[in-house]
Structure formats: C-alpha cells, structure tokens
Amino acid sequence: MRFQTKNVHFTTKMEADEMSKTKPIYQTSAFSFNDLEDMESFFEGKKSYLYTRVGNPNTDDLGKGVADLEGAEMGVASASGLSAILAGVLAVAKSGDHIIATEDLYGGTYQLFAHELKDFGISVSFVDCSSREEIEDAVRENTVLLYTESITNPLLRVEDLEGIVKIAATHGLKTMVDNTFATPYLIRPHESGADMVVHSATKYIAGHSDVSAGVVTGNQELMMKAKSKVANLGSNLGPFDGWLGCRGLKTLSLRMERQCANAEKLASTLKGHPLIKEVFYPENAAHGGNGAIVTIDLAEAMDVHDFSRKLDWVKIVPTLAGVETSITYPVGTSHRPVPKEMREKLGVTDSMIRISVGIEDAEDIIEVFEKALT
C-alpha cells in the first residue's frame, strides 16, 4: 500500500465478538460484507445490520433496554422523544385518521399534534382524560388512537391508565402512553394494557442531560412499523447517543430511588410553607415512589424571577431529570406553545416553578430552596 491508501486502511478487521466488557460504539454509517451473497443475507433476515439509518447495535440496545424494563416485546430508539412519539403515532394513524389526546400534554407534543399532524392529514381532539364522558364524546368513526401521559406536566396528575385503556378498547382504539416522568421504575403502562409506551429518553432514561433520544415500545408488529417510520423519516438515533443512553439507563433504578426519596423530603418540607401557595406532588403514584418532580406555585408576595435568581447552585433549565437538581419555568418553556386559555383551564400559572430533584444530599436541596424563599 502507498501512503494515501495506508492512511485510510490501518484499522484491523474485528471478529464478530471480541469480548469487550462494554458494548463497543458502532460509530459507523454502514456495515460491510464479505461478498455479495453475504450482503444478500441481510435482506433474507439472516444478518442484522446494513445501514445505520435502518439499524445500529447501539441504537437497538437502547430500544431493547427500555422494552425489557417496560415489559414490551420490542423497543425502537430514535433521535428524540418527539420523533419516537411521531413514529409510534404513524405506526397506527395515517392521513384521514383522527386521534384523541389528553389536553394536559407536554408542550412539544402539543405542538407536534396541533400543528404538524394536521399537515399530515391527521386530526387531533384534545380532551380531559380523567373524564370518561369527554373521551367518549370525542370518538369518531375514523378515530384510531388515544394518547395520554402517565404523570402529567407540570401538575403531576397520575392518570388512571387501566380506566383509560378500557374506554379505548370499548371503541377499538389503540392506546399510547408517554411514560417519561414516571419511568418504568415507577409505572409500566403495558401492564395496564397500553399498546405503546413512549419516552423522551433525553430525560430519566439517559439521565445525565448529555443526550437527546427517544424510545417507543410495544408488540413486534407495531414496533416493526415504528422502526420503518424512523428509518424512512430519517429520525434515527446516532450510535454514540445510543451508547450514552444505554450507559445512563444502567443506573436508572439507583437514580430513581434516590431522586424519588429526595423529592418526597423536599415536597413534605415545602408543603405548608407560608411563601408557597401550593405544592404539587403525587401521592400513591406507584409502589416505588411518587416521582422526582415537585411543582410549586409561589405565594403572591413572591416574585418568581427574584426567587429563581436566589437558588444558588440550582440551575435554571428548560428540561428535567438530570442527576443535578434543576428548576424550570413551565409558562416560559414547556407551556410556551400552549395557548393562554388552555393554560388557565389546566391550572398552569405564571407563578409556577417545576423542580426536578437530583441525587444530591436531601439536606442541601432543602436548604437551598428554604434560603431562596426567605
């Protein structure tokens, strides 16, 4: 080989299994074959990988890891929570179809449903999913899917999934549940009969605020459809991001255990504080805990901007679920796209702060909030 050729062909060929302790990162856009018949074997289903947009070991691991925890046959990872939601929705809905979604939606999902799906020819009705009547009134001949969230944002209402799935089944609708806030550590919607579960893996699944990813889980048939949507829409997750997601996922139980315990302590300390109008924190959400998000509505005497500046080491972010405690301002971030009348109907106020409780020492977390209040 001459210099320029040697320059690009120095890496040794890997045997299929080099027994690396951690899964190597398959940072490759495509896979190579020994001969043309070998390549043909991919299309006969005898080989797993051809082209990273269509499938990659690190990406597939993340889908499988979440599916295993959710108790699903298969999981499909994609580039973001929203792309996983879209892949799941398009696995059951096409142009001309109608879906029903909770009005309590995460802002980005609301944006996707209210604007983008409409342009795909899929119409959406937003209802209060705690009302059987509202759901049933919204059902049309072309309704195919009921979409909800297991724990809503930012008011942290825990949905009666079993009840919702039953209503949907009566009308022959599939159900899809965003389980981002609960994670399968707390709630496993498939056990209540949900057909599809979706995650913004950007949040607790990956857990370290260093990757954007999504996962949708369900049975093989639905997930093969979702997987082809991800491939054909080009919303595949990158190999390194899949690997980061897997590394984060391995500590999900440890993180959730600590974060839920810390949140419980913070919520009970803040409850009844004279400078807080209301503390939102679920009770009896699940056996494992009540989640790691605490939402507070500040008393009138408090200035929300001033308060946010006094929180010392607590970062102000437009997201949640990292190992560090952080806050967000729902009206300014997640609920910015939600019309004011809808926000008022939902009870999302201008004085609301959503706290994502981290893994620090609970005493330090409590101290920093008490100090900022006083």
Contact footprint for ligand PLP (CB under 6 A): 80-82, 106, 108-109, 149, 153, 178, 180-181, 200, 202-203, 212, 214
Q: Which is nearer to ligand PLP, 82 or 279 (CB)?
A: 82
Q: Which entry of 64, 157, 174, 203 is annotated as an active-site residue? A: 203
The residue with its CB nearest to ligand PLP is 81
203 tagged catalytic = yes
Catalytic residue among 26, 106, 110, 204: 106
56: which residues sit within 8 A by CB, 6+ positions away?
A: 26, 28, 49, 236, 237, 239, 242
Spot the catalytic one: 53, 166, 277, 315. Answer: 53
C-alpha 323/C-alpha 254 separation (Å) is: 11
Q: Which is nearer to ligand PLP, 41 or 319 (CB)?
A: 319
Shortest Cβ 214–ligand PLP spacing (Å): 5
| 204 has catalytic annotation | no
Shortest spacing between CB 106 and ligand PLP, in angstroms: 4
The question of whether 178 is a catalytic residue gets the answer yes
Q: Among the options 178, 195, 241, 297, which is catalytic?
A: 178
DSSP 13: P
Q: In the bound complex, what is the minimum distance in angstroms from residue 89's beta carbon to ligand PLP? A: 12
**118 included as an active-site residue:** no
Which residue type occupies 64? K
CB closer to ligand PLP, 180 vs 351 = 180
Euclidean distance between CA atoms 175 and 67, whole angstroms: 16
Exposed/middle/buried for residue 186 (C-beta within 10 Å: 0-12, 13-18, 19+): buried
How many other C-beta atoms can be found within 10 angstroms of the C-beta atom of residue 24? 12
Residue-wise burial string across 136-173, b where 16 or more C-beta atoms lie within 10 A, e elsewhere: eebbeeebbbbbbbbbbbbbbbbbebeebbebbeeeeb
Write the CB contacts of 210 (distance below 8 Å, at least 6 apart in sequence). Answer: 244, 248
Nearer to ligand PLP, 105 or 302 (CB): 105
Q: How far apart are CA 243 and CA 253, in angstroms?
A: 18
Shortest distance, position 197 Cβ to ligand PLP, whole Å? 12
Are 365 and 358 in contact by the 8 Å Cβ rule? The answer is: yes
* Minimum distance from residue 79 beta carbon to ligand PLP (Å): 8
Give the nearer residue to ligand PLP in terms of CB position, either 181 or 281. 181
Which residues are known catalytic residues?
A: 53, 106, 178, 203
